[in-house]
Structure 1
């Protein structure tokens, strides 16, 4: 927007104008006029363009204006402005800058002009300044402003949704400063649990609301939440009514500060939820590993047997990690198990491997799993190692037919190449034993009907553990 500051009105004139400008020659006056504007037009009293000065690179398409009326070089909506500037120049009025648009093949070019009368009213000089860069700047500013407004609206909507969920949640929730343990926010359920009037918790220190005997437990919970993504819930006792609650905490950063999201739940006594606590205790003491995973197959909870199986220090660092970090070949076994559960409702005695650390081959395990109903249900896995059971199988020819039938059970534990090699060795051993039985343990005859040399047969007998067969009668 152009105001009085863009014209000469109200400005102090030069004190030595006669001394400075009276002796200006034509060359100096021309340079002064060219410097005063990006484009300069010399006009007669009717608005006819007598001469021009501009950079052709900056204003392509402006050439050849000499002999053309100024009003014919502007757009239709700019013509009244040109007529007003020429009329004001004839009356000798002080000129203000006015924006007009010149049509070109590349679009309209916005230029603001101020007209000055010279040579005793015989000529006018129109000084023009290019507004394209200013227009681009304004456009970018407008786009940034619109983007900020959209982001602000989105943040307001997110804040409104968060506030609504926070307020209507039936679970007591506190937002606490990690450094000072001062409560920043608390939902109505937290006020009800602590037995205080609505809106009175923000600003208070959390330890003051907890009995002295539970303050160390609270401090340990805060330290664990700040040090790890998953902290084991702790039981604390509130000052009001000596209410015992189970507190869980999660740390997050905001505005260069650390905060805690503290969730409280009334602690269930031994008489509450009959059967629930014994069941959980029994699951935790099971000799087989037990894991509960979410819909993404990330660990939610596990018992001590699983902690020992994966050689972890405790269950806390395991929560939230993908079960595929330990179970099966990545991207294969668990997806097949998940598909089997979707199709049949459960997976029974699936053979796979357990990988711990840098162990690529893994240890053979057997896995059974089910999933709870509903969207986003949980998976429950029972895992037991079977490596020792496989190693303890007694060797002998009587087991070979059973091993043939169980070749398909190797799928998932071994690659196809290894299965084929195991099958080849099994068939080779069966054929050698059949040949020895057919020839009454005569190794020379057995080698002949098998198409082998004696040395090759002896080598295969040794490799298959058949060296204790009777010696060659020859």
Structure 2
């Protein structure tokens, strides 16, 4: 450490007021200690965060006794470096604050030249920790989305290549082939990789090419064009249809070729065929399951198998929906009660469980057919667990806590449940107000519309304040 050259500018020449002002700028808390690391005085700078109110109780204690066990080695290093070198490197430790979670503080320790004492200047790092936590949550959400997209892409590629119809994806701007499946390669008599990048149409006579160009023009203007009959290589006849869609700021065309002897989508009259609807439900990204009126599973699509972590639909048969969705034996009667009253259930939030313990948050919609030869209930289940929560963590904690209280119905009296719920909600709103006002209790009382004395009473009742602290604030104010 290089000292100042001018003796009249040395730190030793600073008066007490100037030294205090310097410390106030340097950090949020300062500890004055002897050479052994025993705290002799505590000074709070900045706004005087209420979480440091108990710091005055550290006077007379060893500095290492005020931190968590994993931080004590860092305290010893801070003291030794200051004694030997005059100033230590900055290190972060976690102070124990009673019922409050540990408070991270970054300290630099300086040796006092005259009597060998030490001064530790610290900065509150809670805002950095909160930001790091948000970044971790955002990264985890991005990783979940990434792997879900990879799985979706894998399923898309598998279905794309196994499709019996020839499928070609074109750039609408220049009609270049961007992608094609193996069936399209067989239709045009070339390997798939040789089709990509070539101009479309391929290997057609002039009449078929004009008909296909008209089909593509109709798809660009209307979004979708119906079937036309084409004669391709070898005199084979196909039905062609086209769809237009946007992807990554580009307009693309999807052209499908079906053999003329096979039925094509859109060739049926009188609306969608049942087989087409069944195929769409099977490929739906949302889970779909059909049960009888008692909740026993009759059939389900692949998305529901993914949620339940089962390999085949046969493993589901004979089990009940409550095994995988909601609370066993509790939520299904709620579904049926709402169906009897309203006919449908829309976006009911609950949870789903897999065979191997994986859990996720889901939204459930349901409709039923109570009459007929085979009465049944259809459930649509959407996994919402990957959504990055925009609300505060406390709101989700409150929801979970209320759900836990709900599970006590039938075991605890209604009066006790209502009292506990009121206390829980009141504590939550008080914590939210303190967080909003940076633990300024006067401002928090104004936000909540109560007097400061009433707020102190509630803080003591909910154990949100260290005993004696509120009396010290009353005296200070």
TM range (shorter): 0.5 to 0.7
1:175 aligned to which of 135, 150, 169: 169
Residue matched to 1:60: 53
Residue 122 of structure 1 aligns to a residue in which SS? coil
The Cα shift of 1:121 comes to: 5.3
Deviations 1:156-207 (A, max 9, x none): 0000000011112121111111221111100011001100124111111113
Q: Does 1:163 align with 2:165?
A: no
The Cα shift of 1:212 comes to: 2.3
- How does 1:247-258 map onto structure 2 within 5 Å? 247-258=240-251
Contact 1:231 1:250 in 2 (8 A): yes
2:65 aligned to which of 69, 72, 75: 72
TM-score, normalization by structure 1: 0.53
Q: Residues of 1 paired with 2:49 and 2:86: CA distance?
A: 32
TM-score, normalization by structure 2: 0.52
Structure of higher RCO (CA pairs closer than 8 Å, 6+ residues apart): 2
Q: Does 1:184 align with 2:174?
A: no
1:114 aligned to which of 84, 96, 108: 108
Q: Residues of 1 paired with 2:6 and 2:272: CA distance?
A: 89
1:294 aligned to which of 262, 273, 290: 273
Q: Residues of 2 paired with 1:222 and 1:228: CA distance?
A: 10
Residue matched to 1:37: 27
The Cα shift of 1:14 comes to: 8.0
Contact 2:238 2:260 in 1 (8 A): yes
Residue 51 of structure 1 aligns to a residue in which SS? strand
Residue 56 of structure 2 aligns to a residue in which SS? coil
Residue 170 of structure 1 aligns to a residue in which SS? coil
Name structure 1 gaps, 5 residues minimum: 1-7, 284-289, 299-330, 332-338, 345-474
Name structure 2 gaps, 5 residues minimum: 278-342, 344-368, 375-477
Q: Residues of 1 paired with 2:127 and 2:58: CA distance?
A: 24
Residue matched to 1:214: 208
Q: Residues of 2 paired with 1:234 and 1:297: CA distance?
A: 20
Residue matched to 1:96: 89
Residue 210 of structure 1 aligns to a residue in which SS? coil
Label 1:40 to 1:17 Cα distance change in 2 as closer, same or farther (>3 A): farther
Range with greater deviation from structure 2 (242-251 or 97-106)? 242-251
- How does 1:25-424 map onto structure 2 within 5 Å? 25-54=15-44, 55-92=48-85, 94-104=87-97, 105-120=99-114, 122-238=116-232, 240-241=233-234, 243-268=236-261, 291-295=270-274
Q: Residues of 1 paired with 2:255 and 2:145: CA distance?
A: 29
Label 1:215 to 1:70 Cα distance change in 2 as closer, same or farther (>3 A): same
Residue matched to 2:14: 24
Q: Residues of 2 paired with 1:195 and 1:217: CA distance?
A: 21
Deviations 1:288-345 (A, max 9, x none): xx724434999xxxxxxxxxxxxxxxxxxxxxxxxxxxxxxxx9xxxxxxx9x9759x
Q: Residues of 1 paired with 2:162 and 2:274: CA distance?
A: 26
Contact 1:56 1:62 in 2 (8 A): no
Residue 166 of structure 1 aligns to a residue in which SS? helix
Q: Residues of 2 paired with 1:294 and 1:93: CA distance?
A: 84
Contact 1:56 1:63 in 2 (8 A): no
Contact 2:87 2:108 in 1 (8 A): no
Q: Residues of 1 paired with 2:148 and 2:6: CA distance?
A: 59
Q: Residues of 2 paired with 1:224 and 1:14: CA distance?
A: 82
Contact 1:90 1:121 in 2 (8 A): no
The Cα shift of 1:243 comes to: 4.3
Q: Residues of 2 paired with 1:198 and 1:56: CA distance?
A: 67
Q: Residues of 2 paired with 1:15 and 1:212: CA distance?
A: 91
Q: Residues of 2 paired with 1:153 and 1:21: CA distance?
A: 60
Residue 233 of structure 1 aligns to a residue in which SS? strand
Label 1:109 to 1:217 Cα distance change in 2 as closer, same or farther (>3 A): same
Q: Residues of 2 paired with 1:230 and 1:47: CA distance?
A: 78
Deviations 1:220-278 (A, max 9, x none): 2112222335422122344x44544321111111111111111112345xxxx9xx9xx
Q: Residues of 2 paired with 1:254 and 1:14: CA distance?
A: 64
Q: Residues of 1 paired with 2:165 and 2:6: CA distance?
A: 82
The Cα shift of 1:16 comes to: 5.9
Q: Residues of 2 paired with 1:292 and 1:141: CA distance?
A: 49
The Cα shift of 1:120 comes to: 3.4
Label 1:34 to 1:27 Cα distance change in 2 as closer, same or farther (>3 A): same
